[in-house]
């Protein structure tokens, strides 16, 4: 096989992995805030604070998902087609949840009746909790394997996606994102709600660490049996980062705690992609049916053009998103909202 072609395939597999890592790191705390909304928000002002904490950035964070999907479609169309046919119902549920969640952010402040706001608050919670769980289920299945036949077509049912390993992956992502969101709120809010967020994060730290330990251990055992083992240092770093969060919060090193939750998410996601390579989807019906970076990729010319476009526009997008976070870096407290019109 042509060496340049091989390098481009590997490059785009790595770039797609980076896009998913960025998405889970950024959208992870959005999901976490949405999951914690009914537990930390004791009145409407509290809930407005929580919504405003992610209000300026949540839609920008979702761009990472759009770009990851677009890059997969362009670089590995066979992967994209098989993925969407295999996980059709799960992905439909995720997209529906994300749509209702986005609508809830926009419509919550359009009415003043308490019941109106309660319904949209529920949409934010379920629109955050559903994807937080299902993304973990999906990626656990991609790594462990789903029934794909010799034509790279789905040969199973939705229930095939709900095995114990996949459910553990879903629990891990759910708990990590909830923890990530709680720690984010210690950096973004002030006053009593910040204290509540820290207590919630401290309570979530140990279950999240236990889930990471269980998932990475099971992943290592499976991958070792299949001859695909990611560098152990990546998994160990992810586990150590998750385990450090509770201690960092207790000594009120909130910034370091946020970095630790982020590193845990990065480490778990990187472990999945490193164990997966050079496959992009594993078939539970036999290795001959696996999709790899070679049999699922686009032509060399397509990958070359995509690489040039990415080199031009990726730095601009990253700079713009970094600027957005800098502009909206201020903490939010009750005093910032109680005198303002009820718009969120």
The string of pLDDT tens digits covering residues 10-25 is 999 999 999 999 999 9
Q: With a cut of 50, say whether residue 56 has pLDDT above it.
A: yes
**What pLDDT was estimated at residue 169?**
95
**What pLDDT was estimated at residue 36?**
96
Length of the chain equals 344
**What pLDDT was estimated at residue 115?**
86
**What pLDDT was estimated at residue 153?**
80
- pLDDT band for 4, please (50, 70, 90 cuts): very low
Q: Considering the entire predicted model, what is its pTM?
A: 0.91
**What pLDDT was estimated at residue 150?**
85
Mean of pLDDT values over 306-316: 89
**What pLDDT was estimated at residue 1?**
46
- 212, 172 in Cβ contact below 8 A? yes
Per the DSSP assignment, residues forming a β-bridge with 69 are none
- pLDDT band for 207, please (50, 70, 90 cuts): very high
**What pLDDT was estimated at residue 3?**
47
**What pLDDT was estimated at residue 5?**
43
Q: With a cut of 90, say whether residue 145 has pLDDT above it.
A: no
From the list 292, 310, 295, the residue with the least C-alpha distance to 71 is 310
Q: With a cut of 50, say whether residue 283 has pLDDT above it.
A: yes
More confident residue, 76 or 230: 76
* Segment among 26-30, 99-103, 123-127, 146-150 with least mean pLDDT: 146-150
- Average pLDDT of the chain, as a whole number: 88
More confident residue, 229 or 305: 305
Mean of pLDDT values over 221-241: 78
Mean of pLDDT values over 108-132: 90
**What pLDDT was estimated at residue 343?**
53
**What pLDDT was estimated at residue 88?**
86
Per the DSSP assignment, residues forming a β-bridge with 146 are 283
* Segment among 14-23, 209-218, 233-242, 327-336 with least mean pLDDT: 327-336
């Amino acid at each position: 096989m042509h060496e340049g072609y091989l390098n481009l395939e590997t490059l785009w597999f790595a770039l797609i992995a980076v896009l998913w890592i960025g998405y889970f790191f950024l959208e992870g705390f959005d999901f976490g805030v949405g999951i914690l909304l009914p537990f930390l928000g004791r009145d409407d002002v509290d809930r407005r604070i929580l919504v405003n904490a992610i209000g300026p950035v949540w839609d920008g964070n979702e761009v990472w998902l759009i770009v990851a999907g677009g890059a997969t479609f362009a670089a590995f169309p066979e992967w994209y087609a098989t993925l969407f046919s295999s996980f059709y119902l799960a992905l439909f549920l995720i997209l529906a949840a994300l749509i209702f969640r986005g609508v809830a952010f926009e419509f919550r402040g359009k009415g003043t009746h308490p019941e109106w706001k309660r319904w949209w608050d529920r949409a934010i919670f379920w629109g955050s909790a559903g994807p937080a769980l299902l993304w973990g289920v999906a990626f656990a299945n991609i790594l462990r394997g789903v029934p794909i036949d010799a034509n790279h077509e789905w040969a199973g049912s939705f229930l095939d996606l709900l095995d114990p390993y996949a459910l553990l992956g879903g629990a891990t992502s759910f708990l990590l994102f909830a923890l990530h969101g709680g720690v984010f709120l210690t950096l973004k809010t002030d006053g009593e709600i910040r204290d509540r967020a820290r207590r919630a994060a401290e309570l979530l730290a140990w279950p999240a660490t236990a889930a990471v330990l269980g998932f990475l251990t099971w992943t290592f055992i499976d991958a070792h049996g299949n001859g695909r083992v990611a560098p152990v240092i990546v998994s160990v770093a992810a586990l150590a980062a998750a385990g450090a969060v509770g201690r960092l919060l207790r000594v009120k090193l909130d910034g370091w705690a946020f970095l630790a939750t982020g590193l845990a998410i990065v480490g778990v996601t990187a472990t999945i992609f490193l164990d997966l390579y050079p496959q992009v989807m594993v078939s539970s019906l036999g290795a001959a049916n696996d999709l790899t970076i070679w049999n699922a990729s686009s032509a060399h010319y397509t990958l070359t053009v995509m690489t040039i476009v990415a080199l031009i526009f990726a730095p601009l997008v990253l700079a713009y998103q970094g600027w957005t976070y800098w502009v909206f870096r201020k903490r939010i407290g009750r005093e910032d909202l109680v005198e303002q019109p009820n718009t969120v």
